[in-house]
A and B are shown apart, each in its own frame.
Chain A
Amino acid sequence: MTTAPRAIGLPVGRLPRQTRRRSSGEHLWRWGMMLPILALLIGMTLLPLCALLILSFSNVTWQNARPILTSAGLANFAALLHDSLFLASIRNTLVFAAAAVSIEIVLGLVLALALGAVRRGKDFYTTAFMLPILLPGIVIGAIWALMYNPDFGIVDASLGALGLPAHDWLGNPGTALGAIVAVDVWHWTPFCFLLLYAAVESLPTDVFEAARIDGASAWQRCRYIALPLLAPTILVVLAFRAIIAFKVFDEVYLLTSGGPGTTTEVVSLTIYRRFFVEDHAGSGAAMSIVAFLVLGAVTLAAMRMIRKRQAR
């Protein structure tokens, strides 16, 4: 923009009136075009967030069927520091997300690389791998609740066929969280696989061919060529999955409802209970804000990693 005025001998920053008018018209036009999406952003995202923020600093009571909001200051946030259930839910959610996402990415990558090397039947395998992600969470919960049932579930029946004793996977505090991670891995590995498979299919074949001619082994080609080239996609998948995993609700709600004890309590479940069962809107809002900040921090860290990687 600054080179054009110089070219016709005008001082920088001073445009002919006609150009200025056209420029401000364009400006208006741009803002006008952006207005619907801005209104949508404000209405659907910022306003609810503001309402949540106000609620988090308030106590809500009801009198004569009308809500009465009183200021709670920072009390709702301070109480979270001593809320053993909320702290357990944060810890469990982080463990769950770390375990589930890392297993899913490793499995998804292995499946993507394996399918990349397959010559026939790719469509069949892709469709088969995709099936779990097509099922609604409620169906997945019901299926796995039946499969894990210690009395008639297929998991223990299979163990029994191998001569191993039956085990209450969801009822035992030692295995409940692991059992839910397994369900999540089954559910979400196809998502990781799909994104990584698209990246694997777009890898340049000539580089691999050159490496093979140079005597690189299959492991070396994978370690030194495929993985570095796939790294940006892996980071994107990691970010997506970490965000989704942090919000896990349906699987836990249907399989264990957070128990036994607090072993499978996750943030979304605690927030749901605090809001809708215990009817403590202020406390629920404070939890939501904290969860939002944690999730925001995870997302920002992931984005920063992706940008750094891309800059290299």
Chain B
Amino acid sequence: MLKLLAAALLACLSTAVLAAEPPITIAAPQTPWFGGFHHIVDEYQKDTGNTVHLEVSPFDGLLAKERAAVRSGQSPYAILIFQVQNFVEFYAGGFLQPLTAIDPKFRLDPQVYTFDDTVFWNPTTGRCERDGGILMSVPVNPNVPVLYYRADLYAQHHLPVPQTFDQLLANAKTLNAPPRIYGFVQRGDRGTLNIGWDFLPYLYGFGGDILGDQKQGDFKVVLNSPRALAALQFYVKLAHEAGHPNPASVTQAEVIQDLVTGRAAQAMITVAGAAQMDDPDKSAVVGKIAYAETPHAAGQVSEPPLGHWLGGIPHNLPADQQKAAMAFLAWFQTGKAQMDYARAGSPPVRRDVLTSSLANDPHFGWMRPLAESLQHARQPFFTKDAPGLAAVFDLKLNQALAGELTPAAALNQAAHAMEDILQKDGYKTGILPDLKE
């Protein structure tokens, strides 16, 4: 008994001696990649002896908690993990401490993706700029959609991996045998960039866009363009001709569920869902799912949207906590940590890990499409009004998918509502002429 007590005391003392930083709490989202993040936090604690608590919340709840934290006297969280649609709100509002203000020597490792330079913020110009911008955050997860397809069914039906949307539709129709299996399943529910994020590969892949050149300060709404209309018409057609019977209510969790239970032959969802496909405890299709870049319209290129997560440090935090948070972020971006992160099933944020020999392992078949996608993936919103714009975007797309609005009416209404939001906030905006309804 005494020996046990002595051992426990020794363990406690050694941890306390080893720990260089005070304990910190990270506000983290309940997402498909959370398992890997949890693993890497454990690794950090083992490596350094520092203590990290994770406060995990669902998507909507997390944002509300983080807003409350940075607007209060002192943040209970040392690191906020936030999705990219909220980054301008956090940067421009002065809610995050620039990382170089905490540690002037800190630099983002050159192997770490900067994701359309969304880790930088220039307070003078109010834009995300590498030159003249300040490092505000470290990427935590590269959330990019890729095409998931049943390689066994493709082989059985001698189908080519689709490069274009027409090929995707043809494959989906071939594989569609409801209710046993759906040819293609879409995430059609609405929120703030649920269906919107699902639709963006189509919008970009048809050559359309939501806003003008935001990085140059042009916030003209171009969503109601003929190209966007073609994209939405195709999106609705794909759903009705080869998809789930009620696509407007399908959530991301349900898309993943349909894939792992073999109910979906194909889907385009976040690469982070891949970890569940080969998990024998969760999946009935182990080893049967393959991955590819998202298709595009003939004559266009594949351009998936970024939906990555960033880690930042609140402004309202004691200096020792900020230093402890920096220690975690600095460790997190190392090659070793990122390799462990990838092995645990979470997409890494380093180029050298994504293109390492690990990518040759069929179990990590998502790595190459992800690395290729990241070369031309882009950020949908560079404005603090992103949550409002995303809500409007989702609502109107969802109404079009549910049959409440025609695609043209949905795009016109969304464009007008977006222009209104941007105008009220003083952005240089405008709108295209209405599409014919």
Contact = CB atoms under 8 A, between A and B. Distances in A.
B63 A62 contact: no
B192 interface: yes
B250 A171 contact: yes
A172 B247 CA distance: 9
A174 B333 CA distance: 49
Given A170-B249, A279-B89, A151 B388 contact: no
Interface in B54-101: 60, 63-64, 67, 70-71, 89, 93-95
Residue picked from A61, A168, A171, A257, most chain B C-beta under 10 Å: A171
A65 B190 contact: no
A168 B243 CA distance: 14
Contact of A171 (B71, B245, B315): B245
Nearest to A62: B93
A261 B403 contact: yes
Contact of A263 (B67, B189, B391, B402): B402
Contacts of B95: 62, 65
A277 B63 CA distance: 7
B191 interface: yes
A276 B249 contact: no
A146 interface: no
A259 B70 contact: no
A186 B295 CA distance: 46
B395 A171 contact: no
Given A277-B192, A277-B387, A260 B71 contact: no
Nearest to A83: B417
Nearest to B416: A82
B391 A257 contact: no
Nearest to B387: A278
Contacts of B395: 85, 262
A44 B250 CA distance: 40
Nearest to B65: A276
A150 to B, nearest CB: 8
A260 B248 contact: yes
A63 B190 CA distance: 30
Contact of B94 (A64, A168, A260): A64
A278 B85 CA distance: 11
Given A65-B93, A276-B60, A171 B248 contact: yes
B22 to A, nearest CB: 23
Given A62-B94, A176-B249, A278-B391, A257 B190 contact: yes
A190 interface: no
A257 B189 contact: yes
Instruction: Report the contact-size class of chain B (Cβ under 8 Å from the partner).
Output: 35 or more
Contacts of A59: 424
B398 interface: yes
B379 interface: no
Contact of A261 (B89, B248, B250, B387): B248
A260 B413 contact: no
Instruction: Report the contact-size class of chain A (Cβ under 8 Å from the partner).
Output: 20 to 34
A262 B403 CA distance: 11
A278 B402 contact: no
Interface string B382-419: 00000110010001001101111000000001000000
B52 to A, nearest CB: 25
Interface string B185-227: 0001111100000000000000000000000000000000000
A255 B387 CA distance: 22
B403 A166 contact: no
Contacts of A173: 248, 402-404
A64 B71 CA distance: 10
A277 B95 CA distance: 17
A61 B60 CA distance: 20
B263 interface: yes
Contacts of A170: 249
Given A65-B94, A65-B315, A173-B248, A261 B398 contact: yes
A273 interface: yes
A172 B246 contact: yes
A166 B179 contact: yes
A280 interface: yes
A276 B64 contact: yes
A59 B399 CA distance: 28
Interface in B93-143: 93-95
B316 interface: yes
A100 B310 CA distance: 44
A62 B71 CA distance: 9
A183 to B, nearest CB: 15
Contact of A278 (B70, B316, B388): B388
Nearest to B71: A65
Interface string A155-188: 0000000000010101111001000000000000
Nearest to B61: A276
A261 B404 contact: yes
Contacts of A263: 402, 404
A151 B263 contact: yes
B391 A277 contact: yes
B297 to A, nearest CB: 26
A108 interface: no
A84 B391 CA distance: 13
23 contacts: A62-B89, A62-B94, A63-B93, A65-B93, A65-B94, A168-B249, A171-B244, A171-B248, A171-B249, A172-B245, A173-B403, A258-B190, A260-B398, A261-B399, A261-B403, A276-B63, A276-B64, A277-B64, A277-B387, A278-B387, A279-B67, A279-B89, A279-B388
Given A84-B413, A151-B263, A173-B402, 10 more contacts: A176-B249, A257-B189, A259-B402, A260-B249, A260-B402, A262-B399, A276-B64, A277-B192, A277-B387, A279-B67
Interface of A: 59, 61-67, 84-85, 151, 166, 168, 170-173, 176, 256-263, 273, 276-280
